[in-house]
Amino acid sequence: MLIPRPTHRTWSGKVRWSPKQVLAPSGEDEILAALRTAREAGSGLRVIGGGHSFSALVATDGVMVTLDGCRGLVRADTDSGLVTLRGGTRLWEIADLLAPLGLALPVMGDIDHQSIAGAIQTGTHGTGARCTGFAGMVRGLRLALPDGSVVDTSPSQDADLFEAARLGLGTIGVVLEVTLACVPRYRLDLVEATVDLEEALGSFLADSAIIDHHELFWFPRTARATARTMRRVPQDTAVRGPGRLVGTLQREVLGNGAWELLCRGASLAPALSRPAAELASRVLAGPRVLDDSSAVFTAPRRVRFHESEWAIPAERLGEAVAALRTRFDAEDVRVSFPLEIRRAAPDDVWLSTAYGRDTVYLAAHRYHREDPGPYLLLVQRTLAPFAARPHWGKQHWLGSRELGELYPRFEDFRAVRAAADPDRMLLTPYLDHLLG
């Protein structure tokens, strides 16, 4: 079970680390053995899921554990929709596991490479005013704690441990199994359109209240956005659109190949950024597609980028974008990537970015060959007055002092974490910085 491995890096390439040992357990006993190995060696341990976080959450010079060998369906109850999956199960596998049961995930984000445990640990989300992020769908967790014990938690069983562990940044224990509340299978009718930014922002809260899954992509310094609306339709509605083969070709050639060339050109000649953004803002909208929900929610993202994402109270969207536009003009910001605007329902997960508030997300991206720092920091500073909470898996520069003020249950989380891992085995300097 010991694999010699060189340096690891995040998907965007920003964070690199060299664990002294990489372990790939294939079941619960081997996970417990990995925890024992780290404990006896007095070394830190971090679990990696899909490795798709932008921040240094997984980085460790101690033991890194991959749960790629711990995937698949444990049990499902088709009446209640409760489905239990092993922690390492990738999101792209879940649709295939759920389909024969007549079930689906209530919502997904932009990609499906994450593991289910990694997705819940950072508060991964999609868009939908009636949908929470993945952590809000969790109804039970089976955890291996640093002391070697295994516990089953739920809202009625070790409730505080459950609340902390369902979005725990991998600092409470190793997530062995996740029980999710799923929904009957459905298809999505996707319509994309180029829209006027002011109008789209003005009606975003009303639109997203009635459209099941609604989002905007705004190219900074332009007055346009691409609106992406996805309406749920019954599973037996006929598939329509360019066909999966043509759709894949379109996504790969236009969505990834041409996009890479545009971004690469703009990174070499920054003066091209604005015309590139102008052009992209007019042509991003794709054809109408009606297909299975998992095929519509997600798409391959082969053009690499850096990303920060901020959760703000939904009602402050207009003010927040106005503040960004003012700062972008003042600083003559030139970026080729759009800013993504999404919505989520309030939830009660202690460290959720949507804890206790109707939420709008603003996600800023920068092409991976460009220095993301100045732009992403400008976005962070501009959104700070809006009580903006950073996505835990994405880049930001906040520490425990600021985060403590943003999360009413931060101290409760810290107390549960300290009790679950008194020897701080699952912490790293980066997590110390976040959690204090």
Ligand X SMILES: Cc1cc2nc3c(=O)[nH]c(=O)nc-3n(C[C@H](O)[C@H](O)[C@H](O)COP(=O)(O)OP(=O)(O)OC[C@H]3O[C@@H](n4cnc5c(N)ncnc54)[C@H](O)[C@@H]3O)c2cc1C
The binding site for ligand X (CB under 6 A) comprises 11, 46-53, 57-58, 67, 87, 109-111, 114-115, 117-119, 121-122, 124-125, 169-170, 174-175, 301, 391, 393
Closest separation in Å from C-beta 242 to ligand X? 23
Amino acid (one-letter) located at 34: A
Distance from chain centroid for Cα 66: 19
Tokens of 192: 């994309």
Single out the residue of 409, 403, 434, 393 nearest to residue 119, CA to CA.
393
Closest separation in Å from C-beta 108 to ligand X? 8
Can you spell out the DSSP letters for 235-293?
A: TTSPPBSS-HHHHHHHIIIIIIIIHHHHHHHHHHSGGGHHHHHHHHHHH-----EEEEH
Q: SS3 for 394-423, per residue?
A: CCCCCCHHHHHHHCCCHHHHHHHHHHHCCC
Tokens of 405: 């003020």
Single out the residue of 19, 69, 27 nearest to residue 43, CA to CA.
19
C-beta of 49 vs 247, nearer to ligand X: 49
Closest separation in Å from C-beta 234 to ligand X? 25
Closest separation in Å from C-beta 274 to ligand X? 24
Looking at residue 353, what DSSP letter applies? Answer: T
C-beta of 44 vs 87, nearer to ligand X: 87
C-beta of 114 vs 380, nearer to ligand X: 114
Tokens of 382: 């501009």
C-beta of 125 vs 357, nearer to ligand X: 125
C-beta of 70 vs 274, nearer to ligand X: 70
Closest separation in Å from C-beta 123 to ligand X? 7
| First-to-final CA distance of the chain | 34
C-beta of 50 vs 338, nearer to ligand X: 50
C-beta of 12 vs 274, nearer to ligand X: 12
Amino acid (one-letter) located at 101: L
CA–CA dist 181, 104 (Å, integer)? 9
C-beta of 129 vs 274, nearer to ligand X: 129
CA–CA dist 60, 41 (Å, integer)? 14
Closest separation in Å from C-beta 28 to ligand X? 12
What is the H or E stretch that residue 29 is in? helix 28-41
Closest separation in Å from C-beta 320 to ligand X? 18
Q: Which residue is nearest to ligand X (CB)?
A: 118
Closest separation in Å from C-beta 294 to ligand X? 13
